[in-house]
Amino acid sequence: MLHYRVNRNTMKFQVILFGAALLLVSGWYMQLSLYDPQPSNDKVHVLLLSSWRSGSSFLGQVFSQHPSVFYLMEPGWHVWTQLRQNGARALRMAVRDLLRSVFPCDFSVMESYLPENPNVSSLFMWSHSRALCSPPICSLTPRNQFSNQTLCLEKCGAEGLQGVEQACDSYSHVVYKDVRLFELESLYPLLQDSNLNLRIIHLVRDPRAVVRSREESAKAFMSDNAIVLEQKRIKEAEVQYQVMQEICRSHVRINERAVLKPPPFLKGRYKLVRYEDMARNPLEEINAMYQFVGLEMTTELATWIYKVTHGKGKGSIKEAFKITSRSATNVSQAWRTMLPHSKVRRIQEVCKGAMSLLGYRTVNSEKEQKRLDIDLLVPREPYQFSWLPDKTQHPNNN
């Protein structure tokens, strides 16, 4: 048998060397974790952050129809409808806490806002989620096929919330849409949570187009308007302009917080998308969003996206939450021929700062407004903004 003698000094040196290496690696790992915290699981969580009538229903379907996505439309709706006597500031934390629970697929929090013994059909616009019309919760729609809302309403929806949790757990991406958060600060705990790999896609739209769309369904927004305006008494003729002012201010607050000196945990987690860019180049813009959250575009999805953005439909109140084949470009421009110029001027006044920031040119006359050959969308590079007012004067066509 062979025997080896190990020099005591050599052993000490090896132990010290090993300890130093361990400390070095540990310190290196801690530094990486400090600046780029890694989630404890591989799930990606995505919040589609927008405002009413901004094209968010279409964007939601772009994610809902993806075979890797569990999608739910506006879970915050339940908070606002049950606690409607409050204002938006008071409700933001309740919405945040609900999102904090349902992102990791815990739907027990929903029981506070739903009837006794709730099921899938108790959830707001549940049939707009392909995942709730697919296995394991419903056998109607295979995951690699597009869902049919009418058939889903007929065949699915009876499963309990435990089935929703089971379905949610089976997807790599969990995506929720919300139109009821007006700042990012309340979401900071979610962004800092190591168990959530949260990404935020912020969808904005020309406020003039938003007003035109909101006017078609004005009565449906009465309760939401009161919450946005903190239950203040405001003259009826001024309500829509005051609401738009709050919405425009929220877009500025959100974008400023995410882009101008963002906290470390926000870097790389925020993407701004203009509805008009998506309408003009749907495949390019949607593919960029997929890449942002780690999804792949499929041939089937690309074909579906092209069809629903290049149809002949113009959109109407009856299609408020339906995704029908229509010309996305025509829809985005409809306000220019349908809104009186007096209203357009007023909207431009209350949303001047947001329009400048987000790249929407103002019009100075009714004739200019209706000349569709004049492009009102300012090309913009990612994360480059100017706070200076747009001094570009469009030609006076009077």
Q: Tell me: the pLDDT tens digits for 291-348?
A: 999 999 999 999 999 999 987 655 443 444 444 444 667 788 899 999 999 999 999 9
Residue ranges per domain, the chain? Answer: 44-370
Stretch among 17-31, 226-240, 273-287 having the lowest mean pLDDT: 17-31
Q: Answer whether residue 66 shows pLDDT above 60.
A: yes
Q: Are 123 and 65 in contact (CB under 8 A)?
A: no
Query: Mean pLDDT, to the nearest integer, of 179-186?
Result: 96
Q: Read off the pLDDT band of 46 (50, 70, 90).
A: very high
| CB distance 65 to 128 below 8 Å | no
Identify the residue with better confidence: 317 or 58: 58
Stated pTM of the model: 0.82
Which residues face 69 on adjacent strands? 173
Determine the pLDDT at residue 329. Answer: 73
The closest of 46, 90, 41 to 69, measured between CA atoms, is 46
Contact 257, 267 (CB under 8 A): no
pLDDT attached to residue 383: 41
Query: What's the 3-state SS for the chain?
Result: CCCCCCCHHHHHHHHHHHHHHHHHHHHHHHHHHHHCCCCCCCCEEEEEECCCCCCHHHHHHHHHCCCCEEEEECCHHHHHHHCCCCCHHHHHHHHHHHHHHHCCCCCHHHHHCCCCCCEHHHCCCHHHCHHHHCCCCCCCCCCCCCCCHHHHHHHCCCCEHHHHHHHHHCCCEEEEEECCCCCCHHHHHHHHCCCCCEEEEEEECCHHHHHHHHHCCHHHHHHHHHHHCCCCCCCHHHHHHHHHHHHHHHHHHHHHHHHCCCCHHHCCCEEEEEHHHHHHCHHHHHHHHHHHHCCCCCHHHHHHHHHHHECCECCCHHHCCCCCCEEHHHHHHCHHHHCCHHHHHHHHHHCHHHHHHHCECCCCCHHHHHCCCCCCECCCCCCCCCCCCCCCCCCCCC
**Do the strands 173-178 and 198-204 form a parallel or antiparallel pair, or are they unpaired?**
unpaired
Strand-pairing partners, residue 70, are 174
**CA 72 to CA 94: how far, in whole Å?**
17
Question: pLDDT of 78-109, one tens digit each?
Answer: 999 999 999 999 999 999 999 999 999 999 99
Nearest to 151 by CA among 137, 130, 167: 130
322-354 b/e (C-beta count within 10 Å ≥ 16 → b) = ebeebbbeebbbebbeebebebbebbbebbbeb
- Integer Rg of the chain from CA: 25
The matching CATH number, chosen from 3.40.50.300, 2.30.110.10, 3.40.50.2000, 3.10.300.10, for 44-370 is 3.40.50.300
Phi, psi angles (nearest 5°) of residue 242 = -65, -40
The pLDDT of residue 30 is above 60: no
Q: Given phi > 0 = left and psi -120 to 50 = alpha, else beta, which region is 59?
A: alpha
Rounded to the nearest angstrom, the gap between the alpha carbon of residue 314 and the centroid of all alpha carbons in its chain is 24
Peptide bond into 389 cis (omega under 30): no
C-beta atoms surrounding 109 within 10 Å:
19
Position 343, amino acid: K
Q: Is the pLDDT of residue 191 over 70?
A: yes
CA–CA gap between residue 352 and residue 243 (Å, rounded): 14
